[in-house]
């Protein structure tokens, strides 16, 4: 017996009240108050994840492809990321595939090709993503090839669709698009990518009706059962795409995208977009950006419960995390885990992130 208990015992004897004595002898312990017993060992901590661990196959790595076949160009706004030419892809991706890379998403960045209002370079036979799809599907047959489908890397005006010819008074900086012409054009581009070997097409344009147009296009081309459709369903007009726009060579003076991307506080509208795209034939629903939109990720599990939920940790989220780590605010690996685990907790089972190469190492280490 410790001396403290003895002292208390003696004191109680002196007071000599039987009820007081009993209270101390058998205090009303709340057993539910003690939870740290379940997390004192690293393995115990893993067991607290509700069966939802980060795994290598959850990660999709975004890759920027130049039309210069020998390019290996540093993207200054996106630390550690480069624009790659087709001749560099084998040396770049080979080691990652060996480490367990399961999926990439390709973005074309034509630098020499001539852009026009309908985004003609998007599905030109020589366009970098078509060239890369043909090459990569032979080189790494197990690697899941997703392609971002959008017109903004290919249009002269830098917008994601075909612009409306109708005037838009008072909204000169937020042009409207022609939804039907845009959906048709985007479907045409998506089918071209599927024909070139894409296992999944991921339209990021946010044009109304494009999911149905793409699904029908794939089916008419006989590719409906060979190409998945991942919809950027809840894509918000975010300040976090800045580094991407430099990476993808979007003209700086193109105005904003508020007339087709969702307003950040529009939760109900996001739910409508999720339900709509699920009903139009999407196979996977995506939320973008991720960290400020965890509630929307969670909504996907409720409003499209029969579809996997993906989320995109976008360029600005990545750059912010890297910058904070460089400032010593936190450790890079810790914050990469904390943010992506929050996405998994909210309901995501697929994560698009520029941290993918690091995760292939980190997931092999003791965390």
Ligand X SMILES: NCc1[nH]cc(CCC(=O)O)c1CC(=O)O
Return the active site residues: 235, 288
Q: CA torsion angle for 342, 240, 204, 156 (degrees, to 10)?
A: -170
Residue 259 binds which entry of ligand X, Zn ion, none, CB below 5-8 Å type-dependent: Zn ion
Q: How far is the CB of 167 from ligand X (least distance, A)?
A: 24
User: Could you tell me the two tokens for 87?
Assistant: 């001749």
Stretch that binds ligand X, among 30-38, 146-154, 177-185, 327-335 (CB under 6 A): 146-154
Which has the closest alpha carbon to 101: 139, 55, 52, 66? 55
Residue 314 binds which entry of ligand X, Zn ion, none, CB below 5-8 Å type-dependent: ligand X
Cβ burial of 301 (10 Å; 0-12, 13-18, 19+) is: middle
259: annotated binding-site residue? Answer: no
Q: How far is the CB of 105 from ligand X (least distance, A)?
A: 9
Report the distance separating Cα 62 and Cα 141, nearest Å. Answer: 18
Q: How far is the CB of 205 from Zn ion (least distance, A)?
A: 5
Report the distance separating Cα 203 and Cα 103, nearest Å. Answer: 17
- The reply to whether 204 sits near ligand X by the rule CB under 6 A is yes
Q: Tell me, by CB under 6 A, how many residues bind ligand X.
A: 11
Cβ–Cβ < 8 Å for 288, 236: yes
β-pairing verdict for 82-84 and 72-74: antiparallel
Give me the residue label for tokens 């999926």: 103
How many contiguous H segments (helices) and E segments (strands) does the chain have?
13, 10
Per the document, the length of the chain is 367
- The reply to whether 206 sits near Zn ion by the rule CB under 5 A is no
Which has the closest alpha carbon to 142: 100, 204, 172? 100
- The reply to whether 152 sits near Zn ion by the rule CB under 5 A is yes
Nearer to Zn ion, 229 or 346 (CB): 229
- Name the strand (E) or helix (H) holding 287: strand 284-288
Q: According to CB under 6 A, which one of 67, 123, 148, 208 is a site residue for ligand X?
A: 148
- The reply to whether 150 sits near ligand X by the rule CB under 6 A is yes
Stretch that binds ligand X, among 52-60, 186-194, 239-247, 342-350 (CB under 6 A): 239-247
Q: According to CB under 5 A, which one of 65, 150, 273, 360 is a site residue for Zn ion?
A: 150
What are the residues whose beta carbons fall under 8 Å from the beta carbon of 258, sequence distance 6 or more?
Answer: 174, 237
Q: According to CB under 5 A, which one of 45, 52, 171, 220 is a site residue for Zn ion?
A: 171
Ranges within 310-349 binding ligand X (CB under 6 A)? 314-315
Q: According to CB under 5 A, which one of 71, 89, 160, 214 is a site residue for Zn ion?
A: 160
Stretch that binds ligand X, among 114-122, 124-132, 207-215, 241-249 (CB under 6 A): 241-249
Report the distance separating Cα 80 and Cα 74, nearest Å. Answer: 7
- The reply to whether 152 sits near ligand X by the rule CB under 6 A is yes
Q: How far is the CB of 57 from Zn ion (least distance, A)?
A: 27
Give me the residue label for tokens 């190492």: 361
Q: Tell me, by CB under 5 A, how many residues bind Zn ion.
A: 6
Rg, Å, the chain Cα set: 26
Binding site residues, ligand X, CB under 6 A: 148, 150, 152, 160, 204-205, 241, 244-245, 314-315
**Residues placed in the known binding site for Zn(2+):** 150, 152, 160
Binding site residues, Zn ion, CB under 5 A: 150, 152, 160, 171, 174, 259
């Amino acid at each position: 017996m410790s001396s403290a208990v003895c002292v208390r015992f003696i004191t109680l004897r002196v007071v000599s009240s039987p009820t007081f004595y009993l209270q101390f002898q058998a205090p009303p312990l709340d057993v539910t108050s003690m939870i740290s017993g379940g997390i004192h060992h690293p393995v115990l901590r893993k067991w607290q994840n509700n069966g939802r661990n980060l795994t290598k196959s959850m990660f999709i790595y975004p890759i920027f492809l130049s039309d210069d076949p020998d390019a290996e160009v540093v993207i200054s706004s996106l630390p550690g990321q480069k624009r790659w030419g087709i001749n560099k892809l084998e040396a770049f991706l080979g080691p990652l595939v060996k480490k367990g890379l399961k999926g990439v998403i390709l973005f074309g960045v034509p630098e020499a090709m001539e852009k026009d209002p309908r985004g003609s370079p998007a599905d030109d036979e020589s366009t970098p993503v078509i060239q890369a799809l043909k090459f990569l599907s032979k080189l790494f047959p197990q690697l899941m090839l997703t392609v971002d489908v959008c017109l903004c890397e290919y249009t002269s005006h830098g917008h994601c669709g075909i612009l409306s010819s109708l005037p838009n008074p008072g909204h000169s900086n937020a042009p409207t698009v022609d939804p039907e012409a845009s959906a048709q054009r985007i479907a045409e581009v998506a089918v071209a990518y599927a024909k070139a070997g894409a296992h999944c097409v991921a339209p990021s344009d946010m044009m109304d009706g494009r999911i149905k147009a793409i699904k029908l296009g794939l089916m008419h081309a006989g590719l409906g059962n060979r190409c998945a459709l991942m919809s950027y369903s809840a894509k918000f007009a975010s300040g976090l795409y800045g580094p991407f726009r430099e990476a993808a060579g979007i003209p700086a003076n193109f105005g904003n995208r508020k007339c087709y991307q969702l307003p950040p506080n529009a939760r109900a509208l996001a739910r409508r977009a999720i339900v709509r795209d699920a009903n139009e034939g999407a196979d996977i629903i995506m939320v973008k950006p991720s960290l400020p939109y965890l509630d929307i990720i969670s909504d996907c599990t409720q409003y499209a419960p029969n579809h996997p939920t993906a989320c995109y940790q976008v360029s600005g989220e990545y750059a912010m995390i890297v910058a904070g780590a460089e400032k010593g605010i936190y450790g890079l690996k810790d914050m990469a885990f904390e943010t992506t685990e929050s996405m998994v907790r909210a309901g995501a089972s697929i994560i698009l992130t520029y941290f993918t190469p690091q995760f292939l190492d980190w997931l092999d280490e003791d965390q």
